Amino acid sequence: MLSIQSDSVVVIRKEKTISYPAGNRFHPDRSYPELPVKGTDKSNEVYRMVRGLLIDLRLDSKNINTSGWNPFGSFITPGMNVFIKPNTVVHEHPDKKDLFSVIVHPSVIRPVLDYVCLALKGKGTITIGDSQLYTSDFDKMLLNSGLGELLNWYKDQTTIPITWFDLRLNKAKRSYLYGKWDREKIEHDPLGYQNVDLGNYSRFVGMDASRFRTAVASYKKTVSHHSDGRHEYVIPRSFLNCDVVINIAKLKTHRRTAVTLGLKNYMGIPACKACVPHFITGSPKEGGDQYVHPSFRKRIGTFLHDTIQSSRYTPVKFVCAAAKKLLWNSHQIIPFKDTVYEAMWPGNDTLWRTLADLNRVVMYADKEGKMRKTVQRKQLVIVDGIVGGEGDGPLACDPVLSGTMIAGFSPVAVDAAATTAMGFDVEKIPLVIKAFDESDSEIPLFRGKTDDVLVFLNGSKMKLEQFKTDFNLNFEAHPQWVGNV
């Protein structure tokens, strides 16, 4: 019989009227017998909803609603290192809309902290971190979201060491030269960083690495991480050192992968942006996925962009940036056959591979960064969909008051259910469906097919196919994905 704690199980709660609470400490909505928490906030329905997900997962089922209930106790024991990975990709919404259509609300993180501390029983560590968008400001995110205030207060409520920091090796610094960005070194992880090489386990094996690109880094560095049989990612040691990772994702759309949920949330683990390929130069006819149709102008534009990113000389960067701007503006006179340039379309055949690699790192890389054939850390995935994001995701989403929370132990199963909940077809989204295709691998992300995913919707059990007909949040896809999902 399938255990409720199986990787195949996904639980979903949906409420018509629920919103994020005000305040900054996000106390429980009431006193619960298992928690030694002082203070309550009746308006915090999110706490009740997260707790409900843990009940639906039947965690420590024999003790539910008793003082002995320890929902995380089956996978977190005293002395462990726990890493909490929320999606905090930006510090503000670019269109000044609801920030929490783009990032996780701290009221979702509060109950997670409470139940992690309960399981650790005073022994162990908690680390919270994210590798944000290159141009994002981690400190401003902490301030604008209220997460910083919560964490600063919470660390004084427990003897368990709690640390949080920006996982990036460097971030963007405004140069004021043609509106471009320079790089500022940060390196906050006290344990340092480790190159993790997937070798033949990578989804990029056999591909021409010289054409791998990410828009915000030197292509030379990207190629160096994926050459000579290496496929390596720069991972913070504080992450590798964890025994359990709690992945708190956002329910929203994405321009390159259609959705960004549990699988995509691990894009916020690598410390170095150069090691994560986003696309392959050229059109599909030329063996790439950067744009739809072959284009001489776009090919020249790629050369100029490569020079901007890789040259050490400011005058060279300036000249190339000006030339690239003029070249791109030529479309106003002679239109391009398509408007795609950095693989923000359904034809992107690269980013799902990067994410498959990163999810394998999460599952199978040991504390020294060596790939093993056994799972190295337990995962719990929670998707914050109280307010979701549709349309121009992942950064400029339109808010959706979806009132939905999702949880499970496998990001693959969770993403299949969440994608379906959004009204999209799992079979049309490579990021999700390809994760099921490798079930016979030595190190699979999921052992099984989509038919094996079992959804519990407000307690009612159903297969994914039935769930597809019974539940639909009707999210609007990213403009480039409309009609393709």
Domain count, the chain: 1
Res 53: pLDDT = 98
Q: Which of 162, 5, 6, 17 is nearest to 72 (CA)?
A: 5
Q: Decide if 31 is inside a domain.
A: yes
pTM above 0.85, yes or no: yes
Q: Is 483 exposed, middle or buried, given 0-12, 13-18 or 19+ CB atoms closer than 10 A? A: exposed
Q: Which of 37-41, 158-162, 421-425 has the lowest mean pLDDT?
A: 37-41
Q: Which of 173-187, 251-265, 456-470 has the lowest mean pLDDT?
A: 173-187
Contact 33, 478 (CB under 8 A): no
Average pLDDT, the chain: 95
Q: How far is CA 218 from CA 118, 212, 232, in A?
A: 45, 11, 16
Res 142: pLDDT = 98
Q: Decide if 483 is inside a domain.
A: no
Q: Is the pLDDT of residue 4 over 70?
A: no
Q: Give the count of alpha carbons within 13 A of 430, CB side only.
A: 16
86 phi, psi to nearest 5 deg: -85, 155
Q: What is the mean pLDDT of residues 210-238?
A: 96
Q: Is the pLDDT of residue 37 over 80?
A: no
Contact 454, 8 (CB under 8 A): yes
Q: Decide if 316 is inside a domain.
A: no
Q: How far is CA 220 from CA 43, 180, 224, 274, in A?
A: 52, 19, 6, 9
Task: Show the tokens assigned to 131.
Answer: 């590798």
Q: Which of 2-6, 89-93, 254-258, 380-384 has the lowest mean pLDDT?
A: 2-6
Res 177: pLDDT = 61
Res 90: pLDDT = 98
Q: Which of 300, 215, 232, 252 is nearest to 89 (CA)?
A: 252
Q: Is the pLDDT of residue 77 over 70?
A: yes
Helix/strand/coil for 147: helix
Find the helix packing angle between 314-329 and 296-310, rounded to 10°. 160
Written as one string, the DSSP assignment of 272-293 is -GGGS--EESS-GGGT--SSSS
**For the chain, give me the number of helices (H) and strands (E)?**
13, 17
Contact 339, 213 (CB under 8 A): no
Task: Show the tokens assigned to 393.
Answer: 């995701």
Find the helix packing angle between 430-437 and 351-364, rounded to 10°. 50
Res 1: pLDDT = 31
Contact 259, 424 (CB under 8 A): yes
Q: Which domain holds residue 255?
A: 9-295+337-470
Q: Which of 73-82, 310-319, 397-406, 449-458 has the lowest mean pLDDT?
A: 310-319
Q: Is the pLDDT of residue 2 over 60?
A: no
In angstroms, how far is the first alpha carbon of the chain from the final one?
34
356 phi, psi to nearest 5 deg: -60, -45
Q: Decide if 479 is inside a domain.
A: no
Task: Show the tokens assigned to 205.
Answer: 């094996």
State the Cα angle at 293 between 308 and 306, rounded to 5°: 10
383 phi, psi to nearest 5 deg: -110, 120
Output the CA torsion sign for 462, 87, 371, 76: negative
Res 180: pLDDT = 60
- 32-43: buried (b, 16+ CB within 10 Å) or exposed (e) per residue? bebbebeeebeb
Res 439: pLDDT = 65
Give the pLDDT band (50/70/90) at residue 5: low
Between 315 and 30, residue with greater pLDDT = 30
Give the pLDDT band (50/70/90) at residue 248: very high
Q: Decide if 269 is inside a domain.
A: yes
Res 173: pLDDT = 80
Q: Decide if 321 is inside a domain.
A: no
Give the pLDDT band (50/70/90) at residue 148: very high
Contact 53, 457 (CB under 8 A): no
469 phi, psi to nearest 5 deg: -90, -25
Q: Which of 251, 22, 242, 249 is nearest to 150 (CA)?
A: 22
Give the pLDDT band (50/70/90) at residue 3: very low
Contact 399, 105 (CB under 8 A): no
Q: Decide if 4 is inside a domain.
A: no
Q: What is the mean pLDDT of residues 345-374?
A: 98
Contact 246, 100 (CB under 8 A): no
Res 404: pLDDT = 98
Q: What is the mean pLDDT of residues 213-235?
A: 95
Q: Decide if 476 is inside a domain.
A: no
120 phi, psi to nearest 5 deg: -75, -25
Query: Which residues are CB-contacts of 8 (< 8 A; sequence separation ≥ 6)?
Result: 2, 410, 413, 448, 452, 453, 454
